[in-house]
A and B are shown apart, each in its own frame.
Chain A
């Protein structure tokens, strides 16, 4: 079945780096754009980043721009999020999510979510 499984979370000190991965299965990975969405403890969902189906386009939330990079390896069906210069406010559950395929650009939505991996930034 269609599945996204995140890994790589953990406890890290402010200013350090962490790399998250998302392993996909059950669908043609290279056909889909992919998001990272995070949720701080007790808070709502916050969109973090998106990468296009072909990897040629990436966009980031202002809160992570210049610190985070998103990449994909279609040969391994894997999405990654490299997080540098981590801050306490980056503490959250990070979800990998698949963007729907549609020809209507006014109607992009997330049709599959992973279960998330927890990142705690603390000294």
Chain B
């Protein structure tokens, strides 16, 4: 059972917009800790996608955006492309557990 809760799967057609939710609690998001998102393509290592709630590293398309409010966060992907098909993970820090925590991951399928 992950500390951060994500839906196991989402799907969308090419060109559509999808969102992936990440629900935390008062010990992580509610305590002011930021959310970060990683993309893991099949057979590859994770890659930083969004950091500090809303920021994109250099090279990440602006089709990817993040937000956080209260104890919830979300990743939005607009203009879906087949190459976006991957697993997506949210991550934060939990002050109660005193450690880095990940969501369980969400598999995005591009129909």
A-side interface residues toward B, CB under 8 Å? 35, 37, 44-47, 50, 59, 61, 95, 100, 104, 106-116
**Residue on A nearest B33 in the bound complex, by CB:** A106
Q: Residue B65 at the A interface, CB < 8 A?
A: no
Report which of A50, A107, A111, A113 forms a contact with B100, defined as CB distance below 8 A. Answer: A50
**Chain B contacts with A in 93-108, Cβ cutoff 8 A:** 93, 98-105
Q: With A44-B2, A61-B99 known to touch, is A111 a contact of B48 (CB < 8 Å)?
A: yes
Report which of B46, B48, B52, B101 forms a contact with A107, defined as CB distance below 8 A. Answer: B52
Say whether A45 contacts B51, CB under 8 Å: no
In this complex, which of B57, B91, B103 has the most chain A Cβ atoms within 10 angstroms of its Cβ? Answer: B91
Say whether A44 contacts B105, CB under 8 Å: yes
**Chain B contacts with A in 75-111, Cβ cutoff 8 A:** 87, 89, 91, 93, 98-105
Say whether B101 contacts A59, CB under 8 Å: no
Say whether A35 contacts B100, CB under 8 Å: yes
User: A115 CA to B44 CA in the complex, in Å?
Assistant: 7
Say whether B32 contacts A46, CB under 8 Å: no
**Contacts A59-B99, A110-B46 known; 12 new A-B pairs at CB < 8 A:** A35-B100, A44-B102, A45-B89, A59-B98, A95-B45, A104-B34, A106-B34, A107-B52, A109-B34, A110-B36, A110-B91, A111-B51
Chain A to chain B contacts (Cβ below 8 Å), 20 pairs: A37-B46, A37-B102, A44-B89, A44-B103, A45-B40, A45-B46, A45-B91, A47-B102, A50-B100, A61-B99, A95-B45, A104-B52, A106-B34, A107-B34, A107-B51, A110-B36, A111-B57, A113-B47, A115-B45, A116-B45
User: A92 CA to B91 CA in the complex, in Å?
Assistant: 19
Q: Residue B38 at the A interface, CB < 8 A?
A: yes
Which 5 residue pairs are nearest across A and B when measured between Cβ atoms? A109-B36, A44-B105, A47-B100, A107-B34, A113-B45
